[in-house]
Amino acid sequence: FSNDDAELEKADNMNRQAAEKEIEEGIKEFKQEELDIVKLIELCLENPSTTVGTKLFAYYSESQYEADLFKKMLTIQPKGKIAVDYAACAYKREPALLKDIVNTAKEMDIDLEVLIKLYGLEILDLKNTPLIDREDETTKKAYWRQIHYCIDDDRTIEWMIKECRQYGTQASLMNLLERTMSRFSMNMLLENLEYMQKLDPGQFDTMSAYYLEKILEKLQKAYIQTENCDRISQIELTYRGILSWDKMKCTRRALERSPALYAEMAGIIYLKDGEEKKEGTQEQRRLVSNVYDLFQNARFCPAERDGHVEERELRQWVEEFVSLLNQQNQKRLFGRLLGRIFANSPGGEDGFAPCE
């Protein structure tokens, strides 16, 4: 930092401290004057990002949980941000309080969304049975759609994976696996990723691709030269909507080794020889659109190995591709489709493509 930056940061810290002191004095004066706390909370409802729950715990309750105040918060604001912030402070101060907090909220028949936020405050630890473990299936399903944290413990992590597989979504399990994958063998990690596809998708966000890429990167490194590469390729194809082509390494390897997938894509996208174009169902159109995106993005050269093309394998690949197109009544496409992928040939010894 320059001297000017340091001075600005110092001034900013002083302003924040002064503002915090003013809030503290104002809340304490409010309490001393025995003014109606409900009015203060209602005034803060106009600001959706209000931190009044945190401030009231620190300065009004003097860092001691007050059940009656917590009830007032839930009554005034049923969606519960203020109450949840207050409860979070209480939990940090004394974790054992969370059970009473949750029971109070349940007695008031609050919205499930708020209840899940309260359960979500708990740092999971199997040494003490997690509160969510006592809940019904509906509540568990809502809970495991979210991201939760635990202590650094193998047994607890194993339990979380089991529960998330049973009640969670693809998105939530993907997040959990990325955060805990160092705990699992490669085979177990792959099995979990395969099982994940059976779950409800859930809500993918901007980080979902990152989580999946990190997991796949580890599996690809371990299995790229093994039969398990085909299993990983199936996972890559399932999530091609959030994966870029350069991250689909096992799919690329599968295409380089065999023309089966390339021919299958052609069979979906293109008409058969002599077939007339007709309007398909919405599901058929969606399939064609999805496969076409992959087809357009796929960049590979048959029989390529580390920048070199094996002639014998290339001949075998081409012969098999001709046979598959014949079986699909699409022989006319052979030259066009082969030329398209030969354009991805690596450079030759002279530095220019195609290779020898």
Q: Number of C-alpha atoms within 13 angstroms, CB side, residue 65?
A: 23
pLDDT in the model for residue 352: 45
Tokens 């996208």 map to which residue?
269
- Measured CA to CA, the distance from residue 97 to residue 78 in angstroms comes to 21
What dihedral angle (degrees, nearest 10) is formed by the CA atoms of 346, 293, 339, 333? Answer: 150
Closest by Cα among 102, 100, 101, 125 to 112: 102
pLDDT in the model for residue 220: 97
Total number of residues shown for the chain: 356
* CA-based torsion, 156, 161, 167, 172: positive or negative: positive
pLDDT tens, position by position, 290-326: 899 999 999 999 998 877 888 899 999 999 999 999 9
pLDDT tens, position by position, 75-88: 999 888 999 999 99
Specify the pTM. Answer: 0.84
Q: What is the average pLDDT score of the chain?
A: 91
**Can you tell me whether residue 238 is helix, strand or coil?**
helix
Q: Are 203 and 169 in contact (CB under 8 A)?
A: yes
